Chains A and B, each alone.
Chain A
Amino acid sequence: MSAAAPSAQLTAFSPRVRIRRSFSVGFMVAALLAIAISMIMLGALVVEIAVDGAARLFTDGTAVEREARGGGIVTDLPTPVGMAWMTWALPVAILLPFIGPRLLNSLVPGLPRLAERLIGLIVLAPAAVFIHILYVRFESAYLIDYARAVGIDGASGNLLQLFGEASGFQIVRLLVIGILLPLGILAAGWFWSQRMRKPSMLIPAIMIIAWVVYLFIDPWFLSSFPSRKPADAGIFSAVTGTLYMMVITAAIAFPLGVGAAIYLEEYARRNWFSRMIQINVSNLAGVPSIIYGLLGLQVFVRVLEFERSVLAGACTMALLVMPIIIVSAQEALRTVPPSMREAAYAVGATRWQVIRFHVLPYAFGGMLTGNILAMSRAIGETAPLIAIGALTFIAFLADSPTDDFTVLPIQVFNWVARPQAGFHEIAASAIIVLMVILLLMNAAAIIMRQRTRTDW
């Protein structure tokens, strides 16, 4: 008896040895099965879309078919100068103050702060201009196609003579190689200098893979406008419309959302007013997106008379993602230890100085992560834009914020809603492009969150 007791006790105490093992194993199997089912379903989704989409996204018979018809882009195409500046110059200008000095500091350590900033601007401004010029030339390729289609060969001005017979595909390729490759090399160099060997190897690898994939992608699909025939249709106006709207949305939503978060975390007393705002924000996050669309329809489209423009879409989207940005920025601000604030106050800083020079730099990574996640939500949203009346058939690029526009998910919806199988295929191709953009954004957010997480 006394010999048996200790072994029985040992059995009971050890959580790894169980009396009813079969139940536990059965449950675990069931749980794994449940996860496996959902993974298989989602895997089916991926495979389905990949198989359908690849048929159109990657070069195949449709390109030959077009050649045989003597295809060309026959649309009235204004030169979208404003668009060009918005899509490239603005993000560069926003990123410049953040990336510039850091990049330079890693290359030439020990530079004084001001000089560092100035040189950063001087070095990177030409890069922005270079990118811009490339983009304008990329557009000029369309003018060439257009000129050829309407039969006015050679009569199209200096810019076109510069490029002569260059096709849109060549220019797109030049653009990708001209921007992504240098950027990738710079990023790899920066990571190397920061002794982060893994990303410094990873980035060139991704670049090369992306480049190879790009070589096989049907350029027509990415760089032409919607059409009545599936073989001719492309997502150029949808992609540029998405980019355009996202830039404006971020420019509106980020300051407003972060401002509200700073007020709630740093200024507001714990009273009924801040509680009300807090409850209000969490309830706003649960409002169906289509209702924001109706709000945008009445307020931005009709009362403020923005019409069905990029601006109206961006304002609506900004209101939609603001609760997400507020909540994530609040979480980021809460991670700043109070001791940091108290130390700054102790040496005589004002409240704004404490926030500007101590709290914000600390919380910036977390805020940026939240912002990226909010933007990835905005990229996929369709319903509010349909409610405000964004069009699906846009055969031009938006030139100013007051132009009509379309975005990727709306284009997808339009194609899915058509009965012909050909449109379902190109819908899948557009979904691939959309998902690649989304996955890249999410991956960036996750990596950034893991890198900025510091324990104090």
Chain B
Amino acid sequence: MAARQPNEPQAQPPQDTVRSLLAELWRDRLQPSRPGSGRETSAGRVIHAALFLTATLSAFVTIGIVLVLIFETVEFFREVPFLDFFGSTKWSALFAEKQFGVWALVWGTGMIALIGLVVAIPLGLMAAVFLSEYAPPRVRAIVKPILEILAGVPTVVFGYFALVSVSPVIRDIFGQDVGIYNALSAGIVVGLMIVPIIASLSEDAMRAVPRSLREGAYALGSTRMEVSLRVVLPAAFSGVVASIILAASRAVGETMAVTIAGGGNPQFGVNPLEAVQTMTAMIVQLSLGDTPTTSIEFKVLFAVAMTLFVLTLVMNIVAQWVSRRFREEYE
């Protein structure tokens, strides 16, 4: 074996990110991780490099998103004070007297997501328990793909459904003075939209609970419901919570249904029968008009998008953390 280079990177700890990245790559070539990988031809190295580039592209997408959002957001905060954005609950970006209190939009988003979760959590969890503990394999084999297809129904379709079917029913129940655009009908269809996510992910978590746990509980004389609710559900709790947080994040980021059915009225009230506007709906509203790229309306678009991005990112990270941190390990 030839003598190693004196400046072999493994000997010294990497100083900064770029160098450590290069060091990893260099080490990768010197010490093949798999058998045979040392025999790469020059063409093989080109392919290796090309595949590496495709993998780093996803990192560039994230960087691109963050840069694009930060750039215009900073521009926005040069013109509008920080407190006007985060310290107010009045939003009127399209009026002559502009107010940019983002809490009105966050409130609308939160209200619709909350209604959605109230609808989706019972339905989704019950469906998950049924599929994982009660349903015979044949039923599961049919229902699971149907759930997956439902998860793929375009959100405009749900928007249409909210407007044409759900809103009239709500008006029949609560009286005709309720507007056709209201938070309740948007929230209900958002809930229907996220039922498949909760059901499917929770069911995966429940099925991952080892059989021996169930059999142990049955051996102690438990009923099937006791096994489902007191053994399987707690054991799969981290997965269930993670699925609910992911579904909530999806509800927060959901755009078309809330744009169509929620109405375009940014407000800070507790009545779910009134029209609200979510962050996403506001972005769509401003995108539909011909907004000049130098105007304040264009810049506030990105400030709101930044808020939305951070919110969903935090939720996704929390979901990942919960499912890792509180996972029950069985071996």
Contacts and interface: CB of A to CB of B under 8 A. Distances in A.
A343 B280 CA distance: 52
A35 B126 contact: yes
B254 to A, nearest CB: 8
Interface in B108-155: 122-123, 126-127, 129-130, 134, 143, 145, 148-150, 152-155
A260 interface: yes
A273 B160 contact: no
A290 B160 contact: no
Contacts of A294: 68-69, 283, 301-302, 305
Given A37-B123, A350-B40, A439 B149 contact: yes
Contacts of A63: none
B74 interface: no
Contacts of A284: 58, 61-62
A290 B52 CA distance: 28
A354 B35 CA distance: 11
A380 B253 contact: no
B130 A442 contact: no
B40 A42 contact: no
Interface string A295-330: 101110010000000000000000100110010000
Interface in A310-366: 319, 322-323, 326, 341-342, 344-346, 348-352, 354
B54 A256 contact: yes
If over half of A's interface residues share one DSSP class (helix, strand or loop), that class is named, otherwise mixed; here it is helix
Nearest to A285: B316
Contacts of B192: 38, 41-42
Given A288-B252, A382-B255, A416 B163 contact: yes
B151 to A, nearest CB: 9
Interface in B274-319: 280, 283-284, 287-288, 293, 301-302, 305, 308-309, 312-313, 315-317
Contacts of A268: 55
Interface stretch (A111-119, A168-176, A212-220, A371-379): A371-379
Given A19-B221, A27-B225, A284-B62, A45 B157 contact: yes
Nearest to A342: B35
Contact of B288 (A26, A27, A386): A386
Contacts of B98: none
A354 B36 contact: yes
Interface in B30-56: 33-37, 39-41, 43-44, 47-48, 50-52, 54-56
B94 interface: no
A223 to B, nearest CB: 22
A277 B58 contact: yes
Interface string B249-267: 1101111100110000000
B326 to A, nearest CB: 18
Nearest to B125: A34
Most buried by A among B28, B36, B288: B36
A288 B51 contact: no
A: contact size bracket: 35 or more
Contacts of B158: 45
A143 interface: no
Contacts, number: 273
Contacts of B127: 31, 34-35, 38
B246 interface: yes
Nearest to A255: B54
Contacts of B302: 294
Interface in B210-239: 218-219, 221, 223-225, 228-229
A308 B61 CA distance: 20
B280 A383 contact: yes
A389 B287 CA distance: 7
Interface residues of B, number: 94
A207 to B, nearest CB: 22
B59 interface: yes
A210 interface: no
A431 B40 contact: no
Contact of B24 (A12, A34, A269, A427): A269
A157 B302 CA distance: 52
A436 interface: no
Contact of A263 (B52, B256, B293): B52
B47 A352 contact: yes
A290 B33 CA distance: 40
Given A351-B37, A438-B153, A12 B221 contact: yes
A345 B35 contact: yes
B110 to A, nearest CB: 15
Contacts of A342: 35
B21 interface: yes
A28 interface: yes
Contacts of B208: none
Contacts of B288: 386
Nearest to B252: A288
A436 to B, nearest CB: 12
A376 B44 CA distance: 34
B183 interface: no
28 contacts: A18-B224, A20-B223, A28-B130, A31-B130, A34-B130, A35-B127, A45-B158, A257-B54, A259-B50, A263-B55, A272-B24, A282-B320, A286-B316, A287-B309, A290-B283, A290-B308, A294-B305, A295-B64, A299-B68, A351-B40, A352-B41, A380-B155, A381-B154, A383-B155, A383-B255, A386-B287, A416-B260, A428-B164
Given A277-B55, A291-B69, A416-B163, 18 more contacts: A12-B221, A15-B218, A19-B223, A23-B223, A34-B126, A45-B165, A52-B164, A267-B48, A284-B62, A287-B313, A294-B69, A322-B61, A350-B36, A351-B48, A380-B155, A427-B160, A428-B164, A434-B157
Interface of A: 12-13, 15, 18-21, 23-24, 26-28, 30-32, 34-35, 37-38, 41-42, 44-45, 48-49, 52, 255-257, 259-260, 262-264, 267-269, 271-274, 276-277, 279-284, 286-295, 297-299, 302, 319, 322-323, 326, 341-342, 344-346, 348-352, 354, 373, 376-377, 379-383, 386-387, 389, 409, 412-413, 416-417, 424, 427-428, 431, 434-435, 438-439, 442, 446
Which 3 A/B pairs are nearest by Cβ-Cβ distance? A288-B253, A380-B154, A259-B54
Interface of B: 21, 24, 28, 33-37, 39-41, 43-44, 47-48, 50-52, 54-59, 61-62, 64-65, 68-69, 71-72, 122-123, 126-127, 129-130, 134, 143, 145, 148-150, 152-161, 163-165, 192, 195, 218-219, 221, 223-225, 228-229, 246, 249-250, 252-256, 259-260, 280, 283-284, 287-288, 293, 301-302, 305, 308-309, 312-313, 315-317, 320
